[in-house]
Amino acid sequence: MTENAWTRWPSREALGRAGISRPRRLLTWAIRLLALAMLLWAAFHQRHVGLWGALAATAGVLLTALVSWAFFRTTYAHRLVPSLALMGVLLGTAVAADATGFRGPALVIWCACGVGALERLPLGAAVPVASVALASYSASTNDLWLTTAATVAGLALGGYVLRLDAEARGSAQRLLAQERAARAAEAESAALAERARIAREIHDVLAHSLSAQLVHLEAARLLIENGAERERILERVVAARGMARDGLAETRQALSALRGELTPLEDFLTALVSTADGAGVTVTGERRPLPAEASQAVRRVAQEALTNVRKHAHGAQVDVRLDYSEHEVTLNVRDSGGRPGELNGSGGGYGLLGMRERAELLGGSLDAGPDEEGFVVTLKVPV
């Protein structure tokens, strides 16, 4: 063994009671109570001892039990010097008991000291202490030398097996604690990720919608102060109302997404293009449910792209394609070009820059730019 193995204490998990089954705990206490009862019986049934001697022996037994309990506590705290001092008290008590004719209790104490030292002390201290205790037992017992040798070997082996069993239990307890900590960290990470997702949804929906309404309402206020025509003021108010209506619809959709109540992506795109003239949806690949973040990204980009078509290419033909591949989903929105629409300058969308940031957070990409006829937006999201 290495030097570290000789000086290393059994872990606190090994020396504690955690992880010990209830039946085993009851058996341990039964053995301890039986040993205590045997010691008390020996104290009161010695013929050469009178009443006062029996009472003194009983006090010695109770003192031995108290010192044993203190030994268990100091070894749990990994305090070597107090542990060795308490072990010395126990060995001295056994010597005193043997010298006064209480050989049975002395033998029990020596055996218990040998086993307890091997189980709870560092091996560098346990081996000498156990050697002294078991040598004292061998010198005092009246058994045959072969029986004594077998008993000593069995006690030493039993103490070491108890040590190994305690270490295995302690290792299991540490692994269990680490697993619980990992699960708690994973749950906290998932909660933080969900909070970030909710924050993005609120920012994408409410922040833009409310800021757009504020712009239109502020413009309406300035028009009123400057005495502008009724039609110009009404145009701004109607635009603000449209922003509020769209924002409310988007908020409801975001809440549905957070609750996991999203409609199938294909149905959503079909309903979205149904409000636009000259638009169609084509779906290729094996359809399957997408993660909530990926599904929301596709929906947001489709909305933004169609809003931009209504703004900048009114009357254009729009082709929406959704392709499911093995490792990603691709959305392609292409228009044929047209004249600026009635929403031009209204700021009705969420902005392709924000959608590109959302796609990059998911490990995907968003490309937008003119092609030969009109404008094309391509979103790729890994799934």
Phi first, then psi, for residue 202 (nearest 5°) are -65, -40
d(CA 261, CA 227): 48
CB 240 within 8 A of CB 217: yes
Phi first, then psi, for residue 280 (nearest 5°) are -145, 160
pLDDT at 330 (0 to 100): 93
pLDDT at 323 (0 to 100): 92
d(CA 369, CA 371): 7
pLDDT at 2 (0 to 100): 47
pLDDT at 345 (0 to 100): 43
Token pair recorded at residue 104: 């049975």
Options 3.30.565.10, 2.40.128.690, 3.10.450.50, 3.40.50.970; CATH of 263-383: 3.30.565.10
d(CA 123, CA 133): 15
pLDDT at 379 (0 to 100): 92
CB 47 within 8 A of CB 61: no
pLDDT digits (tens, 9 = 90+) for 155-192: 889 888 888 888 888 888 888 888 888 888 888 887 78
3-state secondary structure of 285: strand
| Residues in the chain where the model's pLDDT stays below 50 | 1-2, 341-349
pLDDT at 11 (0 to 100): 81
pLDDT at 380 (0 to 100): 92
User: For 10, how many CA atoms within 13 A lie in the half-sphere containing its CB?
Assistant: 29
The burial class, CB within 10 Å (0-12 / 13-18 / 19+), for 160 is middle
CB 377 within 8 A of CB 333: yes
Token pair recorded at residue 105: 């209790």
Token pair recorded at residue 46: 């010695």
d(CA 282, CA 272): 13
* Structural domain spans, the chain: 3-142, 263-383
pTM: 0.48
């029996």: which residue's tokens?
54
Tell me the β-bridge partners of 227: none
pLDDT at 266 (0 to 100): 84
Picking from 66, 67, 76, the residue whose alpha carbon sits closest to that of residue 13 is 76
3-state secondary structure of 100: coil
Token pair recorded at residue 318: 């729009």
